[in-house]
């Protein structure tokens, strides 16, 4: 395999396949999986969704920025009550994708993924799985969490290397009670 030509999506798919082949189990722990809450298939679906919401272009997209990691961490903490919503919602995205295209959402091309997300957003996604939760509400929640993970403080698991702040040409925001070393040097001298 030519690793120089390996794109992010192909890497995630290869990593997910390897983890699945290894029989990885999940929970809100770090036992034999990179995820605390998500199963490998759920993380793949979510990674494809967040990259449609904030796609990579000249700057990294949401999945590279660690948005899936951010959401995963929050689901084992402050968003714990949303665990079943994510389980049902991500399953619903894949169920809708299989019904419409015969493939998992992460295996669709970008145009098909965008069209399916528009159906979710409009509340027109087919499938009985959308009875307990509305597809539009699930999609809206994922958009909100994607924005939080992409633009928030990296210490919460997203915005890897401050990528969104660099993209917006923002200085590293100060954390209350702490000064970054370069700011401290300016203030001392």
pLDDT tens-place values along the chain, 189 residues long = 444 455 555 554 555 444 444 444 345 655 567 889 999 999 999 999 999 998 988 888 888 888 999 999 999 999 999 999 999 999 999 999 999 999 999 999 999 999 999 999 999 998 889 988 999 999 999 999 998 888 887 777 777 777 777 777 777 665 655 555 555 555 544
Q: Considering just the CA atoms, what is the radius of gyration of the chain in Å?
A: 18
Assigned token pair, 57: 């272009």
Q: Please report the sign of the dihedral spanned by the C-alpha atoms of residue 156, residue 161, residue 163, residue 165.
A: positive
Whole-angstrom distance, CA of residue 19 vs CA of residue 32: 9
Do residues 121 and 136 lie in contact, with contact meaning Cβ atoms separated by under 8 Å? yes
User: What pLDDT is attached to residue 7?
Assistant: 57
Taking phi first (over 0 means left), then psi (-120 to 50 degrees means alpha), and beta for anything else, what does residue 160 get?
A: beta
Helix (H, G, I), strand (E, B) or coil at 64: coil
Q: Exposed, middle or buried, 122 (CB in 10 Å: 0-12/13-18/19+)? A: exposed
Residues near 120 by beta carbon (within 8 Å), at least 6 away in sequence: 93, 96, 135, 136, 138, 139
Per-residue confidence (pLDDT) for residue 22, from 0 to 100: 41
Is the separation of the CB atoms in 156 and 74 below 8 Å?
Answer: yes
Scanning 24-162, the segments in alpha helix (DSSP H) are 40-53, 67-75, 83-101, 110-121, 135-151
CA-based nearest residue to 168, from 147, 151, 180, 146: 151
Res 177: pLDDT: 58
Please list, in sequence order, all residues whose beta carbon lies within 8 angstroms of the beta carbon of residue 93, skipping any fewer than 6 positions away: 45, 49, 105, 116, 120
pLDDT at 25: 39
């Amino acid at each position: 395999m030519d690793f120089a030509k390996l794109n992010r999506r192909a890497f995630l798919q290869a990593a997910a396949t390897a983890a699945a082949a290894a029989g990885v189990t999940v929970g809100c722990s770090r036992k034999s999986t990179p995820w605390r809450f998500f199963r490998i298939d759920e993380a793949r679906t979510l990674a494809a969704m967040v990259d449609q919401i904030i796609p990579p272009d000249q700057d990294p997209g949401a999945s590279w920025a660690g948005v899936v990691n951010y959401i995963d961490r929050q689901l084992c903490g402050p968003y714990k009550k949303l665990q079943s919503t994510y389980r049902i919602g991500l399953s619903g995205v894949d169920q809708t994708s299989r019904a419409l295209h015969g493939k998992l959402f992460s295996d669709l091309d970008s145009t098909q993924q965008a069209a399916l997300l528009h159906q979710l957003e409009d509340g027109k996604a087919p499938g009985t799985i959308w009875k307990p939760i509305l597809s539009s509400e699930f999609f809206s929640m994922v958009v909100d969490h994607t924005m939080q993970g992409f633009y928030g403080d990296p210490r919460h698991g997203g915005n890897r290397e401050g990528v969104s702040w660099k993209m917006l040409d923002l200085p590293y925001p100060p954390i209350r009670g702490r000064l970054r070393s370069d700011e401290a040097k300016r203030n001392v001298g």
